[in-house]
Structure 1
Amino acid sequence: MNKYKKSAVTAVVAGVVALGGVVATASAANAAGSSTCTVNIKDATYKTTTSVRLRKGPSTSYTSLGLLTTGTKFYGTCKYDPSYGIGVSDKVWTYGKVTSGANTGKWGWVYSSYLKRV
């Protein structure tokens, strides 16, 4: 977002709040695209098997939110499998929350091949 658009958005939000309005924001889970999930998972605690990027969406084309080092704990809530229901895929991504390390508390996507269930 360029500085002029950012200034305009800031001014609008400040005006709404000053007039007693409420500005709604997306929750951390929704902002990262959890609606992309194709499979819900339960009680899925993982550790990363190597250093891997946490991403905004289930693809390397999405922005990196940070690097998870080997052994970082990750709590998965769902998966994205592009071939769900039609075959086996090696492009499965897991969505969840980082629970240890430098990125603790961040929500995002991790390529599933780099996660080991604990």
Structure 2
Amino acid sequence: MKPHHLNRFVAVAASSAVLLGGAIATAPTASAESLPKACTTIEVPEQRKVTKSIVHLRSGPGTKYTSKGLLQKGTKFDEWCNKRKSWSYGKVLSGANKGKKGWVAYRYLKK
């Protein structure tokens, strides 16, 4: 390859890399409201609920999953889905864990 062709090739490659990198950086990501795979059981319209007592916010639908924090009685929670009315997935709307998403035992939530 002649030197001037090499410079042109490098310039095109660098431009492509920048464009490709820009496309990757700006590509749409999964929605903040996207549901985890376990939610495919029963999706419910977003429902505002509150906790009936102190309860763990978990990383998955079951006590074997790690706790992401404790929700105090009266914590507001948006339920996005539930798994056979035993575990609910959603977002914490109040308290120390506000903004976190996770699973709460369904029996500890009320409308």
Alpha carbon RMSD of aligned pairs, Å?
2.1
Specify every segment of 5 or more residues in structure 2 that has no aligned partner in the other structure, as ranges. Answer: 1-16
TM-score (norm 2): 0.69
Tell me the distance in 1 between the aligned counterparts of 2:32 and 2:71: 18
Partner of 1:94: 88
1:26 is displaced (CA, Å) by 6.7
1:25-82 deviations in Å (ceiling 9; x for gaps): 876666xx7210110111311000000000000000001000000000000000112x
Alignment match of 2:108 (pick from 73, 91, 114): 114
Instruction: Please say if 1:35 is aligned against 2:37.
Output: yes
TM-score (norm 1): 0.65
Matches within 5 A, 1:1-118: 21=21, 34-37=36-39, 38-81=41-84, 92-117=86-111
Specify every segment of 5 or more residues in structure 1 that has no aligned partner in the other structure, as ranges. Answer: 1-18, 82-90
Q: How many residues align?
A: 88
* Structure having the higher Rg: 2
